[in-house]
Structure 1
Amino acid sequence: MQIIEKFKAKHETMYNHRRPVIAFLGDSVTQGCFEIFDDHGHIETKFCPEDAYSEKVGHILGMLYPNAAPVIVNAGISGDTSWNGLTRLERDVLSFSPDLVTVCYGLNDAGWGEGKIDEYEKSMRGIFEGIKASGAEAIFLTPSLRSDDTDYRNPVKMLEDCVRQNAKNEREGWLQKYVERGRKAAKEAGVPICDCTELWLTLKAGGVNTNALLANDVNHPSREMHWMFAYELVKTMFEA
């Protein structure tokens, strides 16, 4: 990808090039949301953007190109969907003149089931087209799996209901159906795919309890799993 050429140029001749700008568009996972209980046991989402995969991407690239540490723009918003992301693309992402934009949607979108799968594909296509029209590159980052534990129990009824509802939707295969539509839109737009959904499925097929890798028991990957997203994104930058 051209983003690597930009890192290389900045690293070799610091005064002649600006620092590469990478923007991350997505939902709560992108924003850096983890547990949903505060230190006192009250329901309160923990926002830790410093632990999000965007910062880890910056860390890895800063290690590889110490003279060209990137500018990171975290445009993730908790609860966001692709159709909302499309409406704020210019304001929250393109206004920063990014060199590369990673796009990660599907976790919240899939909850709508059949009702909005066409809108998801249309919105993802619009996002990819908007990014490319701006002159930036794009990567479609497919999301992690959600919990599929339909027997989940928790003293907090609201959380129990939330997990079970998401788990039912997950078992019905809606996330994978949405992600496949996203892949289709990315391929048609010529956008590289960083397929972390497939990696999570590989882990699950290998006997890993992927539900245990979720910080909030629903759909937020643990801080450690954000390293996987970061590594795979940097790998995609080099290989695509």
Structure 2
Amino acid sequence: MSENVKQTAESLVFTRQEKQQLRHRPIIKGSVKLRTHTDPEHVDAVAFVEGKDFIVDYDSGVIVRAEGSSILDWSDHVLYEKVNFDHTLFDDYSNRNFTVFIDYEYELDRDAAKAGFGNAASHFLKNTINKLQSGQEAVYVVYGDSISTGGEASEERYAYFQRLANRLSTLSPAGNVRVVNKAIGGETSTGGSARVEQDVVANHPDLLTIGYGMNDQNLFEGKVAVPLHDYEQNIRNIIEATLRNGETDIVLVTPCEPNPLWKHTSGQVGEFAQVLRRLGVEYKIGVADVNEIWKIELNAGKTPESLLLNNINHPNDYGHWLYEQAFNYLIEGTGAHT
């Protein structure tokens, strides 16, 4: 059985007249809308015109920047075709001005989409959901690096932690989620382990998300910033300190993929993600597997620049939406990507 589904604010970066693959297909004819901002009502949002600025093949889900288009061409970006680049050598290396956001409707085989998921996994969030459904306040502590601070989301409402808080709030209007963001930009799991008592335990969270790994995997002089063994021990310390001090739902967040052309990318993000998957099983806690979803996006034709707003390691608004999809699986056993 199929139905029409709307994809909102999928991101793309166009290079010349190269074909770009939209994430879903077949697309409903006439449904594609492009603009410069996630929010179509944003005061600075500029809309683009089909036929003039872009051309769509609705059956294949391919979209192309038209010649003479008002959409900026990424071949004009300072990092275009640069390999092993050092971002510190450039004043502006962001993809912000080159990123467009796309709404469209597509035909979804609902039975096939459900086949990739098991039963709802909300037991990983049992404590939080019970408090909300009983009309109480649930404290959500966000822990991690710059991505967890909301790095590169255009507004806080688009950052993954706020998307998650909003999603949880819909489970019971009687309760409310209070977000306490204790993430620090540039931090590794070593820093997180050192401050867990003061910044996590002291806040008595009902829900804790732990989002480390991106900075830990950074490559400096041939070595990662935090070796895998030390990374695992740091995450264990955070988990165990939290569990010793009350009933807390803990969700480990695997990191997205950084730009493989950045000089500090180790290529080992998958190994750090695997540590979190293994710890999730061992401690019987949730794992929001963003890394898996991210790789599915890349394998489906997405480019790093279309997902990373800083062109290095910070997701754009759509990238933060992908993080949300990983949490959706934990809440209800479903998500937008299989």
Displacement of 1:216 after TM fit? 0.5
Question: Aligned partners of 1:219 and 1:10: how far apart in 2?
Answer: 33
Whether 1:55 aligns to 2:166 is: no
1:123 is aligned to 234
Change (3 A) 1:75 1:204: same
1:41 is aligned to none
Any idea what the Cα deviations from partners look like across 1:42-68, whole Å, max 9, x if unmatched? Answer: xxxx8x544321111111222332211
The secondary structure found in structure 1 opposite 2:318 is helix
Whether 1:98 aligns to 2:205 is: yes
Change (3 A) 1:88 1:5: closer
CA contact (8 A) 2:131 2:137 kept: no
Q: Which amino acid is the alignment partner of residue 296 of structure 2? A: T
Deviates more, 1:115-124 or 1:83-92: 115-124
1:22 is aligned to 140
Paired residue for 2:313, among 219, 234, 237?
219
Paired residue for 1:165, among 263, 285, 296?
263
Aligned residue-pair number: 207
1:84 is aligned to 191
Question: Aligned partners of 1:134 and 1:23: how far apart in 2?
Answer: 14
Change (3 A) 1:92 1:148: same
Q: Which runs of 5+ in 1 are unaligned?
A: 36-45, 150-163
Change (3 A) 1:71 1:208: same
The secondary structure found in structure 2 opposite 1:110 is coil
Whether 1:142 aligns to 2:249 is: no
Question: Aligned partners of 2:282 and 2:129: how far apart in 1?
Answer: 27
Change (3 A) 1:196 1:72: same
Paired residue for 2:217, among 110, 133, 150?
110
CA contact (8 A) 2:124 2:285 kept: no
Any idea what the Cα deviations from partners look like across 1:142-195, whole Å, max 9, x if unmatched? Answer: 11110113xxxxxxxxxxxxxx3134x2xxx21112222232233222222111
Change (3 A) 1:60 1:142: same
Q: Give the number of the structure with larger relative contact order, counting CA–CA contacts within 8 Å between residues 6 or more apart.
A: 1
TM-score w.r.t. length of structure 1: 0.77
Any idea what the Cα deviations from partners look like across 1:120-152, whole Å, max 9, x if unmatched? Answer: 011011111112222212111111110113xxx
Larger strand proportion of the pair = 2
CA contact (8 A) 1:129 1:189 kept: no
Change (3 A) 1:126 1:53: same
User: What RMSD, in angstroms, separates the aligned Cα atoms of the two structures?
Assistant: 2.4
Any idea what the Cα deviations from partners look like across 1:198-229, whole Å, max 9, x if unmatched? Answer: 11111111222133211111000002221221
TM-score w.r.t. length of structure 2: 0.56
2:177 is aligned to 70
Whether 1:197 aligns to 2:291 is: yes
Any idea what the Cα deviations from partners look like across 1:15-55, whole Å, max 9, x if unmatched? Answer: xxx311111111000001218xxxxxxxxxx8x54432111
Report the structure number with the largest CA radius of gyration.
Answer: 2
